Every structure is written in C-alpha cells, then in structure tokens.
Amino acid sequence: MERYRKLSRYFKERYGVRIQRIPIFAGFTCPNRDGTKGKGGCIFCDATGSGFAAFRNLSIKEQVFKWKEIYKRKFKNVKFFAYFQAFSNTYAPVEILREKYSQALADDEIIGLDISTRPDVLPEEVLDLLEEFRKKVEVHLELGLQTANYKTLKILNRGHTLAEFIDATIRAKKRNFAVVTHVIVNLPWDDIEDVVETAKIISALGIDGVKIHSLYIVKNTPLAKMYEKGKVKMGTLEDYIDRVITFLEYLSPSIVIHRLAADPPHEGTIFGNWGLSKTQVVNLIEKELEKRNTWQGKKYNYL
Ligand code: SF4
C-alpha cells in the first residue's frame, strides 16, 4: 500500500515513462532581494536563490543539453520537464519570460514547464503567457508559502503574507493551473497546530501538489547568524518525522507529494537533515507511516 500520493507514480500514470526535471538557471532575481518587496531575502535563502545552480554560466539551451546527457546516462526511458527553480521565475517583463521559457521548450523532449515563483509576482499577464505555453506542454506553477502562520512568515522575512498566497492560488486555480506549494514543516517558530493549519489551508484551496521541506541552514544567511548566536534551536529528526506525518494526515489525499524532505546543498550547509541524506530521511518517514499504520488524508474530514 502506498501511504501517500507520490509524484513518480503520478508521472508514470500520466506519461508512462520516468519524468526528470531539469533545473534551469534563467538569470532572474527576486523582489525580496532587490528592494522592491524587501531586502536581504528570506532568512534561509543563500546567494543561489534557493536553487540548484549547476551550469549557471551556460545558456538555457546548453543547460538543457547538459542535463539531458547526464540523465540519459542514468535512465533508459526518460522525458523531461524544464524546472525554472532559482529565484523568482516570473519576475521579469512578459517578453523576457516568453523568450526564456521558449528556449527551454525548443527541445522536443521537454514536455513540461515547472515555474517556481513567489505568490506576489504573478500578475494576470504572466498567467496569460503561461496559458499560451500550456497549449503545448503541461505547466506546473510552484508557489512558495512555507507556513500559514503569518507571524512566522514575518520572522522568515518572506515579504508577503498568507493573503497574497491565497490570492495568487485562487487566480491560478480559476484558470485551471496545476499549483504546487512549498512548505517547511519544522520551522522553529511553528508548532504542530501551525503544521495542521497549513495542511488544511492547502487542501481547502484545492492545491495540486506539495513540496515538503526540512529547514536547513546555509552559511552567509541571516538564519546562519541567528543559529550561530544561539537564537534559533533546531528540532530533532523525530520531531520532523512526526510533523511530516501529521501534515500528511490532514492533507487532502488527492494532492501529489513532490517531496518529503529538502536536499541541502553539498557546500556551505551548517545544519541539514540531521546529517542524513534526503533518501535516508524519506525512508525513515515511510517506515514510521507503516509503523503507525497511517496515511495521507487519514484525518481529512474537516471540510
Ligand atoms: S522568495 Fe525565494 S529567491 Fe526570494 S529571497 Fe525568498 S527564498 Fe530567496
């Protein structure tokens, strides 16, 4: 029995093959860094803009080519989504966005577009543009939320509140976009009630997918300074597992789970996944789901 709705199965059922996401660095920045919405960025965000920035000096076409080579050596039958991950990938004039997304889609084996952004930089003209692309490929819109607790959002220096997230989601869902939300369930300022409320809000909004992250701390970030001064205490691995399971229990069973833990960068991480790999953390969560005989949506009876 699968105890949560895995992304890999969703892709397999839809396309019949493995889908691999290619992380694209498109040279965007973020309004929470350049002073438009805020300065300094979210307290956990490092200079890479919370993205996996390999090949960042290459053109988008070259990045696609390089990653395809790597993945084709690893997997036999595979197709690709272009994943615009780092920084805010809708934060530019529409014509520039069109040009960048088109470069990635010039390759026939790219069958989907995954656009990661902030909820406060999703104007209607960007949604119009994404509707154009959706006529050709599947489009996923990834919106960072992290937590429904607006006080914690303030501490994180997100530069937006829950209201902007709800607004962006409603507007995207009105146009039938697949919305994927990022959450961090072990934020030291949140308790288990915040985790439950976040799951409920995401379910109530009819969101399609969730990426669950474990908070990690990278050098040269405001969070690293807080941690080094003893102002932030990270919870235990057991607490993380408990929070993920509780989150899943309250989440609608139809929501696709894109990830269960973060993948901290290889360099510069001060605290990440309690010294374990992402796969090890995921294995422990799956074991605990079995042990507790519980599953995604078990407590989804509140709407
Ligand atoms: S919104 Fe994203 S890119 Fe911008 S500061 Fe926060 S984590 Fe970094």
Which ligand 1 atom is at minimum distance from the Cα of 49? 3
Classify burial at 111, counting beta carbons within 10 Å of its beta carbon; exposed 0-12, middle 13-18, buried 19 or more. middle
Residue 172 lies in a domain: yes
Please determine, for residue 49, whether its predicted confidence score (pLDDT) is greater than 90. Answer: no
Residue of 50, 142, 156, 221 to mutate, ligand 1, most atoms within 8 A of C-beta? 50
Provide the percentage of residues in the chain whose pLDDT is more than 70: 98
Q: How far is the CA of 182 from the centre of ligand 1 (A)?
A: 12
List CB contacts of 67: < 8 A, sequence separation 6 or more.
22, 23, 55, 80
Nearest CA to ligand 1 atom 5: 41
Per-residue pLDDT band for 46 (boundaries 50, 70, 90) equals confident
Residue 73 lies in a domain: yes
Higher pLDDT, 54 or 293: 293
Please determine, for residue 16, whether its predicted confidence score (pLDDT) is greater than 90. Answer: yes
Residue 299 lies in a domain: no
**Domain with 37 in it: what CATH number?**
3.20.20.70
Residue 155 lies in a domain: yes
The pTM of this model reads 0.95
For the record, the structure tokens of 44 come out as 């956990």
pLDDT at 68: 96
Nearest CA to ligand 1 atom 6: 42
Backbone angles phi, psi at 100, to 5 degrees: -70, -45
Residue pLDDT, tens place only, 240-274: 999 999 999 999 999 999 999 999 988 899 999 99
For the record, the structure tokens of 227 come out as 């941690």
Residue 141 lies in a domain: yes
Residue 253 lies in a domain: yes
Please determine, for residue 52, whether its predicted confidence score (pLDDT) is greater than 70. Answer: no
Q: What is the mean pLDDT of residues 205-214?
A: 98
Please determine, for residue 284, whether its predicted confidence score (pLDDT) is greater than 90. Answer: yes
| Ligand 1 pocket residues where CB is under 6 Å | 30, 32-33, 41-42, 45, 49-50, 87-88, 118, 144
Nearest CA to ligand 1 atom 7: 45
Residue 16 lies in a domain: yes
Closest CA to 4 of 284, 229, 289, 204: 289
Instruction: Round to whole Å and give the CA distance between 30 and 98.
Output: 18
Residue pLDDT, tens place only, 85-141: 989 999 999 999 999 999 999 999 999 999 999 999 999 999 999 999 999 999 999
Is the Cβ–Cβ distance between 238 and 65 less than 8 Å? no
Residue 77 lies in a domain: yes
Per-residue pLDDT band for 62 (boundaries 50, 70, 90) equals very high
Q: How far is the CA of 216 from the centre of ligand 1 (A)?
A: 14
Residues spanned by the domain of 142: 7-292
Q: Using alpha carbons only, what angle is made at residue 106 by residues 104 and 112, rounded to the nearest 5 degrees?
A: 55
The total number of structural domains in the chain stands at 1
Q: How far is the CA of 41 from the centre of ligand 1 (A)?
A: 6
Instruction: Round to whole Å and give the CA distance between 79 and 302.
Output: 38
pLDDT at 208: 98
Q: What is the mean pLDDT of residues 195-217?
A: 98
Kindly report the average pLDDT of the chain as a whole number. Answer: 95
Q: How far is the CA of 51 from the centre of ligand 1 (A)?
A: 9
Q: How far is the CA of 2 from the centre of ligand 1 (A)?
A: 33
Nearest CA to ligand 1 atom 2: 87
Please determine, for residue 179, whether its predicted confidence score (pLDDT) is greater than 80. Answer: yes
